[in-house]
Structure 1
Amino acid sequence: MIEIDVLQHLAKNEKGTSGRVQIRNWFDIRNHICIVFEKLGPSLFDFLKRNKYSPFPVDLVREFVHQLLESVAYMHDLLLINTDLKPENILLVSSEYVKLPGCKSSAIKLIDFGTTAFDNQNHSSIVSTRHYRAPEIILVSLAFLQMNLGGALFQTHENLEHLAMMEMVLGPLPEHMIRRAGKIFRSGSRLNWPEGAVSRESIRAVKKLDRLKNMVSQHVESSRYFLVDLLEGLLKYDPSERLTARQALNHPFFSESK
């Protein structure tokens, strides 16, 4: 019922082309809520899988992410938090041409609003799939990176390992955030890593990662500078310094090809 309420609220306030799945009807059968949606194509995760996890071309990524940011910005305007943005929940509108390089339609729509919350509502502090768990605009960035790299950036299910991976890719957390973080930091200043690792495999998984700029440079030839600059803006630890979805839409990465 939460998802139905959110979808109806979005539809009521809709202006222009929708970037979200449209609800057609819903009904209750023996206390099972069923929702009828428009027919859509495969998810971006399935699209990646069908193409053997090959990174998408930059121009295609640009089109996907611009639509995604528009959808997220619209939801934020309505004070809605999706909480579960990931390639599995981003569907191609068309089921045709789902092989690269023959993808002829880049139109996408968001699905799965079952954990969506209004900004002023009480909700769990633990939201979304574990290795995407983060403030919402960072979820956009991680989906963005998965399209560029072919795989999930922070493939982990453990809190400390997750933070260690973030520090490896993005650099150390700001001091003022560390002071509020508690026991996962040694003497209040350094992440308890690798001392706090649960296994040697966990340590190796973190060591395999590289800084963001280097990772993008290995997989992307064109638009590298603007792409890295946009991702760094979206992945800032401090919310006061991080780009919003609306600000990101005006980044040169989206206008350089026009």
Structure 2
Amino acid sequence: MGEGTFGRVLECLDNETKELVAIKVVRSIHKYREAAMIEIDVLQKLVRHDLGGKRCVQIRNWFDYRNHICIVFEKLGPSLYDFLRKNSYRSFPIDLVREFGRQLLESVAFMHDLRLIHTDLKPENILLVSSEYIKVPDYKFLLRPAKDGSYFKNVPKSSSIKLIDFGSTTFEHQDHTYVVSTRHYRAPEVILGLGWNYPCDMWSVGCILVELCSGEALFQTHENLEHLAMMEKVLGPLPQHMAVRADRRAEKYFRSGARLDWPERATSSESMRAVWKLPRLPNLIMQHVDHSAGDLIDLLQGLLCYDPTERLKAREALRHPFFSRDLRRCGYPMWAGVLL
């Protein structure tokens, strides 16, 4: 079903229950085995508290086979990233983004209440419960088709999602000085070496919501200085009080006066172009969202707040006006339009 640095995921049949399951087979390497045992510990804690099993993927069992940790999960659908990729990176309808966001924040709030920080939230780690989808007109391409020649895009039949991959999940009391999160979803305090806590998950949620309604990752970079320059282009200048506290590895990104040393220290003209082409956050959202843009922009400004102490908490975000609209949770989605 999938493969990564940790190992691979196999679709299997449980001979006793006759249920299709997904088994994560972890490579026989010490650090991956350690991460797998942490994940099992977290999963079992989540199962004890998530009685309806609606927020996070459910662990069925685990075993050690020839020094490979094997974790048995309920079988779910594709990740939101895989769905986007197979759909030529066409964005999701805004009402569906709203429902994904609501469920994601509910799951994150649930984890934070348990003193757990996911630390690796990204579309690859959010799975649709069902693989079923429908085709709807893509109104952006009614006058001319998309690159693949299609006037339609796929939309999930059900909006239900669950979080997966708790191998990097950290308890509140553990060490929070090392680097966490996949690059595109990494919070500024992590890059600057200021330590991190629950708010690093909220920054990731903000990046994810932008990606779901635009079809592309917000910060497409692999280098710290370029990443910080992209943040400033989209969100405005970094707060001086954060810049002056940057650790030894990050202080080189700034000039005296805590100004980001950009574009003077850009590694290439391509890097400069990648930053300059980015619009400000409100303009970016209005390019892709026809209604609810104002509420979404306001929510994102709270989630993508540089200062982690001022960033929205999960339960605060759930009370935001963006989530005040209701959405049908079953059957064909209300945004489907004309079905093929």
Q: Report the equivalent of 1:89.
A: 125
Counterpart CA distance in 2 for 1:55 and 1:202 is: 25
Counterpart CA distance in 2 for 1:82 and 1:102 is: 27
Shifted more, 174-183 versus 72-81: the winner is: 174-183
Q: Report the equivalent of 2:321.
A: 252
Q: Does 1:52 align with 2:88?
A: yes
Counterpart CA distance in 2 for 1:214 and 1:189 is: 27
Q: Report the equivalent of 1:208.
A: 277
Q: Report the equivalent of 2:162.
A: 109
What is the identity, as a one-letter code, of the residue corresponding to 2:324?
Answer: S
Kindly report structure 1 stretches of 4+ aligned residues shifted beyond 3 Å: 98-102
Counterpart CA distance in 2 for 1:133 and 1:115 is: 13
If the length of structure 1 is used for normalisation, what is the TM-score? 0.96
**Aligned residues between the structures:** 258
Q: Report the equivalent of 1:29.
A: 65
Higher normalized strand content (fraction of residues): 2
Shifted more, 65-74 versus 175-184: the winner is: 175-184
Counterpart CA distance in 1 for 2:178 and 2:275 is: 25
Asked if the contact 1:161–1:202 (Cα under 8 Å) also holds between the matched residues in 2, the reply is yes
Q: Does 1:168 align with 2:204?
A: no
Q: Report the equivalent of 2:253.
A: 184
**What is the DSSP-based 3-state SS (H/G/I as helix, E as strand, rest coil) of the residue aligned with 1:34?**
strand
Q: Per-residue displacement from partner, 1:86-136 (whole Å, max 9, x unpaired)?
A: 001100000111654552200000111111110111255211211211211
Q: Report the equivalent of 2:294.
A: 225
Q: Unaligned stretches of 5+ in structure 1? A: none
Counterpart CA distance in 2 for 1:129 and 1:218 is: 26
Shifted more, 120-129 versus 218-227: the winner is: 120-129
Shifted more, 173-182 versus 232-241: the winner is: 173-182
CA offset at residue 83 of structure 1?
Answer: 0.8
Q: Per-residue displacement from partner, 1:179-220 (whole Å, max 9, x unpaired)?
A: 212332110321010111111111111011010000001111
Shifted more, 75-84 versus 115-124: the winner is: 115-124
Counterpart CA distance in 1 for 2:181 and 2:241 is: 26
Shifted more, 64-73 versus 97-106: the winner is: 97-106
Counterpart CA distance in 2 for 1:29 and 1:216 is: 48
Larger radius of gyration: 2
What is the identity, as a one-letter code, of the residue corresponding to 1:210?
Answer: P
Q: Unaligned stretches of 5+ in structure 2? A: 1-36, 136-152, 188-199, 328-340
Counterpart CA distance in 2 for 1:98 and 1:133 is: 33
If the length of structure 2 is used for normalisation, what is the TM-score? 0.73
Asked if the contact 2:79–2:123 (Cα under 8 Å) also holds between the matched residues in 1, the reply is yes
CA offset at residue 27 of structure 1?
Answer: 0.4
Change (3 A) 1:98 1:48: farther
Change (3 A) 1:124 1:238: closer
Asked if the contact 1:47–1:98 (Cα under 8 Å) also holds between the matched residues in 2, the reply is no
> Quick one: which of 74, 88, 99 aligns to 2:110?
74
Q: Does 1:10 align with 2:79?
A: no
Q: Report the equivalent of 2:31.
A: none
Q: Report the equivalent of 1:194.
A: 263
Counterpart CA distance in 1 for 2:245 and 2:310 is: 18
Give RMSD over aligned pairs: 1.4
Asked if the contact 2:131–2:156 (Cα under 8 Å) also holds between the matched residues in 1, the reply is no
